[in-house]
Structure 1
Amino acid sequence: MKPALLFAVLMTAATPTLASSPSMPVDSAPSPAASITPPDVEKRPHTVTAPHGAQRQDEYYWLRDDTRQDPAMLAYLNAENAYVDTVMAPLKAVEDTLYEEIVGRIKQDDSSVPYRQRGWWYYTRFETGQDYPVHARRNGSMEAAEQVLLDVNAMAAGKDYFSVGDFEVSQDNRLLAWAEDDVGRRQYVIRFKDLDTGKVLDDVISGVSANIVWADDNRTVLYVENDPETLLTVRVKKHVLGTPASDDVLVYEEHDDSFYMGIGRTRDDKFICIGVESTVSSESRCAPAGDPREFVVLAPRERDVEYDADHHDGRWVIRTNAPGPDGKAADNFKLMTAPSDATSRAQWQEWIGVDEDVFIDGFELFDGFTAVAERSGGLERIRLLRGEAGQPGTAAEYVKADESAYSMGLSTNAEPDTDWLRYSYTSLTTPATTYELNTKTGERRLLKQQPVIGYDPERYVTERVWATARDGAKVPVSLVYKKGFEKNGQAALLQYAYGSYGYSMDPAFNLPVVSLLDRGMVYAIAHVRGGQEMGRKWYDAGKLMHKQNTFSDFIDVTRFLVGEGYAAKDRVAAYGGSAGGLLMGAISNQAPADYRVILSQVPFVDVVTTMLDASIPLTTNEYDQWGNPEDRAFYDVMLAYSPYDNLVAQDYPAMFIGTGLWDSQVQYWEPAKYVARLRDLDTSAAPVLFRINMDAGHGGKSGRFRRYRELAEMYAFMLDQLGVAPAGE
C-alpha cells in the first residue's frame, strides 16, 4: 500500500565526452521560443480561505474542473499543447533521433524470467513492434505448450490508454481475475476468464483498486472498493462468481480517511489479510483463506506504531517500529515473531533487534531460511538467516555486491520450499539483472540480464560521493558518466531526486540516460532527505516541519557537484516528478540561478490549496506527510515552500512541465495554474513549455514505447537549453 502521490518516473541521465566542447556557446544558444508568444489565460478573482481565517488569492483557481469538460479550460490546455508543438518543431529531428536511440536499445521480443507457482511457470513477454505485454504460463515446464492469460495488445486495441493493474489465478489454476483501467484515473474494473475454455465471464466489478485475492473455494474473490470522488480505498467486499456485483457482501469498511487499504494472502496461503496503513500507523486483520468471513486483528492500531506481518511455518513474523520495554521506538524497524492466534503486541517476541545503522526494509520467509532486505550506508543489502524464523542463534551472512553504488532487492520468490533465493541487482552502469543463489552451497546463477542493444557497460563509470548540506548532513549522491570524463567544470549535468514518502531512489540502470551520457553529460541521483536511503531518520528529517531539508539538500548537492568540477555552473538541469515536481518548484523559487533548465512531470505545486480540500483524491491520507493546513502551524510551514504561492518576479530557468488531464494523484490544474502564474512573474526570456497529455493520468501514456516519445521530446528541449551537441557519437 504505497502513497499514491508517488510517481516512479524512469529518470534521465547525463555525462562527459562532448560536453567539454558543446555545439554552441551556452550564452549564445538561441531560445526556440524567442519569437513565439506563449498562451495567455484569463484571471478571475478567487479567495481561498483556511478554517483559521488565513486568506490567499488564487486568480487561476477557475482552471479546476472536476468533470474535465469546461470549454474555456480545455481551450487553454489545447493552446498550451499547440505552443509546445510550435516551439519544439525546430527540434523535431533531435527528438526523433533520441527516440530512435532509446527504443533501438530495447530488445523488442523480450520476456521476463519465468517463475513457478502451483505447478505452472508464469512469465510475461513482448512481441516485436507491440506496445503492451502478453502474460502467459506453461504447465509443468517451459517446454510445455503456452497458455495465454492476457494479450494486453488485443485488449488495448483502439484505446488511447489501457493498463492492467493486477491479475490473479485461482488456487485451482482454472480461473483468472484481472483489473483494467482504460482512462488513466486508476479506477479499475475487475473481469474474469475461464482458463480452460478461454471464455470471458459475465461478472464485472467497477470502481475498485487493482487489488484482487481469491479464496480457497475458487469461486470467491475479495477486492477493495474505492470512494468514487476521493478514490480512497474504503471497503473490502466479497464477490461470488455468477452473482451480480450489487449483491457483493461487505467484509470490512475503513472509516478513518487517513488510511490506505489493501489485501493479500500470506506466504503459506493459510490466511487472507486486510492491511490498512497511514503515514504513521498500520493494522492487519486476517481470516482463514478457506473461510474468509471473520477477520481478526493481529494487533490494534496505535499512532506512531507501524507493522507488517507474514505467516509461515506456524508463526507470524512481523516487521515493526513498535517501542520496546524501555519505551524507545525502533526507528529503523526490527523483526518479531508471534503465535498464529496472536491478537495483541503483548504476544510478540523479538527476533532481530533494532540497529541504529541498519534499516530493515522487508523480508521473505522460506522453509529453511529467511531473507531480510536492509539498508546501510545509503545502499541496499540482503541478509540471509539460516534455520527457522524466530529461532535464536540463527546464522547470518550477506549477499555480495559487485560495485560501490548499486541497487539490490528481493525478486519473485513465489514458493517457500526451495534452497534458492532469487534477487535483483542493478547499478547506473549494470542493466537490471536477476540472480538466484543457493543458500546451502553458495552457488550463484545468472538467470537474466536486461538486454540492451549496442550497450557496453565498460564504457561507463559509476561512483558514490557525499555532499555536505548546509546543516552538516552528509548527502549520498550516485553518479554515472562516460569513461574519459574530466572533472574540468565544463560538462552538462542532469540531477534527479524525489525525496518524499520515505521512498528511496536507488541507483538503478536507466536505459534512456545512455543517450545523455553518450553526449557528454553527467547524471546524478541526489539521495536527499525525505527518502529513506539512510534509514527512517533520513525520512523523518525531510517531512512535515522539516520539509525544507529536501529542497536545501538538492541545492547543496548541485553546488557541491559544480564545485567539484562535475559540471559547469550554467549547464545544470534538474528533474523530478510528482512529489519530486514539488522539489523542482521549490528549488526554482529558492535557487533559480543554479539551474539552466527544470524538467518537471505531474508536479505537486499547489500544496496548501490541495491539502485544504479533503474532496480531492488522497488529500486526507497525506496529513502526516505534509501536515494538515487547518492547523495554523502546518499551514505556515507549507505556505513557506509551496511553489505556486512563492512565485515572485525574478529570472526563472527554462522549464518543461508535463501533466495528464485524467491524473487522479496530482490533478492537472495544479501545474496549469502554476504555469499561468509563472508566466506572469518570470522576468527571464527562458521558455516555459507545458505539455498536457489529454488522454492519460499520473503515469503518462500507456505502452512501453509511447512514454519514450514523451521523454525524447523533453530531452530534446533540455539538450538545446544546455547547449549539448544534438548528435551522439
Structure 2
Amino acid sequence: MGSMTDTAGAAPQAAADPTDPAPTNSALATAAQDRPTPPVARKAPVERTHHGDTFVDDYEWLREKEDAEVVAHLEAENAYAEAVTADQQPLREAIFEEIKARTEETDLSVPSRKRGWWYFVRTEEGQQYPVHCRVAAHDTEDLAADWTPPTITPGEPFEGEQILLDGNVEAQGQPFFSLGGMAVSEDGNLLAYAVDNAGDERFTLRIKDLRTGELLPDTVENVFYGLVFSPDGRRVYYTVVDDFWRPHQIKVHALGTDAADDRVLFEEADPGMWTGFDVSPDRTELLIGVGNSEYSETLSVDLTDERAEPRLLLSRDARVLHSIDPVTLDGERQYVVTHNRGPATDDAVNNMVSLVASTEFDKPFAEQQWRTVVEHRDDVKVEGTAVTRTHLIVSVRKDTTERVQIIPLSGLGTPAQAEAAEPEFDETLYTCALAGAEYESPVIRLVYTSFLTPSSVYDYVLASGALELRKETTVHHFDRAQYIAERDWATAADGTRIPVTIIRHRSVQPDGTNPALVYGYGSYEISMDPAFGIPRLSVLDRGVVFVIAHVRGGGELGRRWYDDGKKLAKKHSFTDFITVTEHVIDRGWAAPDRVAAMGGSAGGLLMGAVVNLAPQLYRAVLAQVPFVDALTSILDPELPLSALEWEEWGNPIEDREVYEYMKSYSPYENIAAVPYPRIAAVTSFNDTRVLYVEPAKWVQKLRETTTGHEPIVMKIEMDGGHGGASGRYEGWKDRAWDYAFVLDALGAVEPLEGVRIA
C-alpha cells in the first residue's frame, strides 16, 4: 500500500537492544506528547436496543461511505498512521527489498493439461499481474509422454504459445484489478472471464474469441465467483449476489443475447444460505450447492440440455452437511457423497464417504441405500473428494495436517474395494493438497508445502503410485537448514490440549529474551495449515519466534475442534490464544515484554477480544481487516453477509442468550479503561466482507478510552478489498508495512548477528 505522506527524509529508527527494559510510563507519555494529534471523529450518539438492552454508539455515522466527511476522516486516519510510523519507512523498504530479492520474479507455473491444451501462468519481473497462456498438446501412443508437461523457460517465448489473458494489460488505467474466474469452452475457442476493478468482489463478465483475440459484445455486470461453459460453448453459467452480497442466483447467459434476458436457473430465498456451483469431472453436469456451516442441499442440472431444470438430489430437509461428486461406474450414474450423516448413520461428525446410485435420490431420504466407501473416524476428518475416470481422490486431515488418499474406482463401495494409497513425505508438519484431477488423466497434480519447504508441484501416477516432482518454487537467499518448525502443545484451563506451531531461526534458543509474534484465526473450521511464506523469513531473520496458535474454532483437530469454538463456545478461541501466549512465555520462547499478536478478518475479531481480555500480554497488536464490531453487524440482516453468519456465531436477533454472549466478547462493546498496547488496524474502503467502518469505530473508541500512551492507528486502502491492494508488488508493500509495525514494536529491527538476508 503506498504512503500518503512523503517520509523520504525520515531518519531510520535505531534497533532496540533486547536487554533494554521496557519503556516506562513517563517515557511513553513523553513520546505520546511528541506525536501528531490523532483525528477525532465527532460523536453522534445512536441507540441500539435489543432484548431490553440499549447500547449507545457514538460513531455509527462513519458507516456512510459516500459522505464527504467520512472520506475526509479516513484520509486523516491514513495521514496520522503514516506520520506516527514514518520512522518505520526504512524498515518497510528493507523488508520489501528482501521479499523481492528472494522471489523469482520472472517465473512460470507448471503447465497443466486440459482438453488438448497445456495451460500455464507466466510472471515477469516488474509486472504486477500474471499472464495466462497455453500451448497445444499432442497425443501419441505413449500416455506418459502425452501427460508430461512441456519444458518452457521463464522469460523466453515458446513456439505456439498463446496468451489468453494478460492481467497487466487488463489492469491498465484501473485502480484495482482482480479475476473472479476464467473458463474455456470445450472446443477451446472461447474464454469467459470476470474482472473486478474496485475491490468489492462484484465482477464484470466478458467473452473473448481466442481465435481472433477479439472480445464478443456480451457483457454481464455484477457477477460473482465461478464460471462454466455449456458443452456446446453456446451458454455461460454464473452466480449473482443480492444487495447484501449473498450469492443467491445461478443464471444462464446465451451468447449473443442481452444480459437482461439471462435466465434464472436457480434462486435461493433463505438469507442464511450460500449458493454456488461446480461442474462434474466429465463436464456434463452442473452441481448446485446451497448451504451453511451446518447443513446443505445439492441439485443437479444436465448441461447437455439447454432446457434442463435443476433436479433435487439431497434436500436440506435431511439436515446433512455434504458435498457430491458424480461418477459413472459400469455404465450407471452414481454419486460419491461426503457427509456427516446418512440414512443409516446418525452421526459422522468428521465425515464419511458413501456411494449412492442416482435412482436412490428419487426415494425418501430414510429409504435410500448408501454404500460406505470411507468409514467415519474420530481421529481423521474427511475434507472432500474428487474423481477421475479411474480413481477417487479423498482429501483428509490426520494429525492436524492435510493429505491426499487415492482409491481405484474398480470395486468401489463393495467388498472388493482396494485399500487407499497415500503419498508419503519426509516432514511431519506439511500440507499435501490436490491441485488438479483432469478426468481423462493418468496422473493427478498435487501441491506440497511446509513451513520450511517452498510450494512444490508433483504429478502422482495413478497406475503405479509414483511421485514425480515437477517443480519446487525457487527462493533465493534461503537455506532451510537455518530454520526450525516444530509442534508444541499448550494446555487450556479446562484441560484441552491446544496445538502450537513454533517457527524460528536455528540460532534462536528458549532463553526468555526473544521477541515473538503470535498469529491466530480460529473460525469457520479453517485450519492454519503448514505453508511456506517468503515474507515470514524477514521476521525470522530478525530473531522473532513466529508462533501459530491453532485455537478452537479452526479445523485442525476435526469438526469437534470447530464446534468447540463457535456460537456459545466462541470464547474458547480467545482464551486458547491467551493460553498459547502464556505458554510460549513460560517455555522461554518469548520475553514477557516482547510479544506481539496478529490476525485478520475473523482473526481480527480474535485480536480485538484478546487485547480486551489480556492487554498486558502484548507489546503490539496488528489487526488486519478486523471483524471488531461483530454484534452490530450481525444484528443487522441488511448488512452484507450478516444473515449468513448466524450459523457461525448464533442469531442475536432472535436469541437473547446469543445476544448477551456476543455482547460479552464483541471487541467494540468491551473496550475498557486500561492501558492498551500499540495497535494497528489495516483495512480497505471497498471491503464487502468486513466493512471498513468496524476498525474505524474501534480505533476511535480505543483512543478515547485507553489509559495508556501507546499509539493506535488505522491504515486504510482506498482502492482495495478484503485482501488489500491488488498487484503482487503492492501486496509485498502491505506485508512489509505490517511486519515493520510489529518488528519496530518488538525492538527487532536489525537482522540477527551473522545473518545475511539478501
SS of the aligned residue for 1:397 comes to coil
- Paired position in structure 2 for 1:14: none
SS of the aligned residue for 2:562 comes to helix
Per-residue CA shift, 1:615-645, capped at 9, x if unaligned? 1110111101011111111101110110000
Cα deviation for residue 278 of structure 1 reads 1.1
Q: Does 1:76 align with 2:73?
A: yes
Per-residue CA shift, 1:421-456, capped at 9, x if unaligned? 321111111111111222433422111111111111
Whether contact under 8 Å (2:239, 2:250) holds in the other structure is yes
Q: Any unmatched runs of 5+ in structure 2? A: 1-13, 139-149, 151-157
Whether contact under 8 Å (2:231, 2:283) holds in the other structure is no
Cα deviation for residue 324 of structure 1 reads 5.2
Whether contact under 8 Å (2:519, 2:599) holds in the other structure is yes
1:267 to 272, 278, 281: 281
- Paired position in structure 1 for 2:674: 650
2:386 to 364, 375, 389: 364
Whether contact under 8 Å (1:238, 1:248) holds in the other structure is yes
Whether contact under 8 Å (1:23, 1:725) holds in the other structure is no
TM-score (norm 1): 0.94
Matched residues in 1 for 2:450 and 2:129: separation?
26
Q: Does 1:223 align with 2:238?
A: yes
Whether contact under 8 Å (2:397, 2:403) holds in the other structure is yes
Identity, % of aligned positions: 40
Matched residues in 2 for 1:191 and 1:390: separation?
43
Matched residues in 1 for 2:246 and 2:390: separation?
39
* Structure 2 CA distance for partners of 1:469 and 1:209, relative to 1, 3 Å: same
Whether contact under 8 Å (2:543, 2:751) holds in the other structure is no
Cα deviation for residue 217 of structure 1 reads 2.0
Cα deviation for residue 416 of structure 1 reads 2.7
Q: Does 1:173 align with 2:195?
A: no
Matched residues in 2 for 1:291 and 1:103: separation?
50
Cα deviation for residue 22 of structure 1 reads 3.1
Letter in 2 for 1:340: S
Whether contact under 8 Å (1:387, 1:395) holds in the other structure is no
Matched residues in 2 for 1:411 and 1:263: separation?
18
Cα deviation for residue 26 of structure 1 reads 4.0
Matched residues in 1 for 2:441 and 2:628: separation?
48
Letter in 1 for 2:134: R
Matched residues in 2 for 1:618 and 1:521: separation?
37
Q: Does 1:575 align with 2:625?
A: no
Cα deviation for residue 148 of structure 1 reads 0.7
* Structure 2 CA distance for partners of 1:551 and 1:231, relative to 1, 3 Å: same
- Paired position in structure 1 for 2:474: 451
SS of the aligned residue for 1:705 comes to helix
Q: Does 1:123 align with 2:146?
A: no
SS of the aligned residue for 1:390 comes to coil
Residues 138-177 of structure 1 mapped to structure 2, 5 A cutoff? 138-140=135-137, 142=150, 144-177=159-192
Whether contact under 8 Å (1:25, 1:723) holds in the other structure is no
Matched residues in 2 for 1:237 and 1:350: separation?
35
* Structure 2 CA distance for partners of 1:186 and 1:391, relative to 1, 3 Å: same
Q: Does 1:340 align with 2:339?
A: no
Whether contact under 8 Å (1:109, 1:126) holds in the other structure is yes
- Paired position in structure 1 for 2:63: 64
1:280 to 284, 290, 294: 294
Whether contact under 8 Å (1:665, 1:698) holds in the other structure is yes
Cα deviation for residue 187 of structure 1 reads 0.9
- Paired position in structure 1 for 2:84: 87
Whether contact under 8 Å (1:113, 1:123) holds in the other structure is yes
Cα deviation for residue 304 of structure 1 reads 4.0
Which is worse superposed, 35-44 or 380-389?
A: 380-389
Per-residue CA shift, 1:166-196, capped at 9, x if unaligned? 0000111111101110000011111110010
Q: Any unmatched runs of 5+ in structure 1? A: 1-17
Matched residues in 2 for 1:432 and 1:41: separation?
45
Residues 219-618 of structure 1 mapped to structure 2, 5 A cutoff? 219-227=234-242, 229-292=243-306, 293-302=308-317, 304-313=319-328, 314-323=333-342, 325=344, 328-343=346-361, 345=365, 346-388=368-410, 389-392=412-415, 393-413=417-437, 415-618=438-641
Whether contact under 8 Å (1:23, 1:724) holds in the other structure is no
- Paired position in structure 1 for 2:145: none
Total equivalences in the alignment: 706
Matched residues in 2 for 1:163 and 1:127: separation?
17
Letter in 1 for 2:338: R
Matched residues in 2 for 1:200 and 1:387: separation?
42
Cα deviation for residue 460 of structure 1 reads 0.7
Q: Does 1:45 align with 2:45?
A: yes
Per-residue CA shift, 1:661-702, capped at 9, x if unaligned? 111011111110000000011111111111011111111000
Q: Does 1:710 align with 2:727?
A: no
SS of the aligned residue for 2:316 comes to coil
Whether contact under 8 Å (1:324, 1:330) holds in the other structure is no
Whether contact under 8 Å (2:299, 2:312) holds in the other structure is yes
Whether contact under 8 Å (2:136, 2:160) holds in the other structure is yes
Cα deviation for residue 652 of structure 1 reads 0.8
Cα deviation for residue 579 of structure 1 reads 0.3
Whether contact under 8 Å (2:15, 2:750) holds in the other structure is no
SS of the aligned residue for 1:154 comes to helix
SS of the aligned residue for 1:394 comes to coil
Per-residue CA shift, 1:587-609, capped at 9, x if unaligned? 00001111111011110011111
Cα deviation for residue 25 of structure 1 reads 4.6
Whether contact under 8 Å (1:382, 1:399) holds in the other structure is yes
- Paired position in structure 2 for 1:5: none
Per-residue CA shift, 1:149-172, capped at 9, x if unaligned? 110101101211111110000111
- Paired position in structure 1 for 2:713: 689
Cα deviation for residue 371 of structure 1 reads 2.0
Cα deviation for residue 397 of structure 1 reads 2.7
* Structure 2 CA distance for partners of 1:239 and 1:342, relative to 1, 3 Å: farther
Letter in 2 for 1:43: K
* Structure 2 CA distance for partners of 1:308 and 1:230, relative to 1, 3 Å: same
Letter in 1 for 2:257: T
1:27 to 23, 35, 48: 23
Matched residues in 2 for 1:495 and 1:119: separation?
47
- Paired position in structure 2 for 1:3: none
Matched residues in 1 for 2:266 and 2:404: separation?
35
* Structure 2 CA distance for partners of 1:281 and 1:192, relative to 1, 3 Å: same
Which is worse superposed, 155-164 or 379-388?
A: 379-388
Letter in 2 for 1:87: V
Whether contact under 8 Å (1:298, 1:342) holds in the other structure is no
* Structure 2 CA distance for partners of 1:411 and 1:257, relative to 1, 3 Å: same
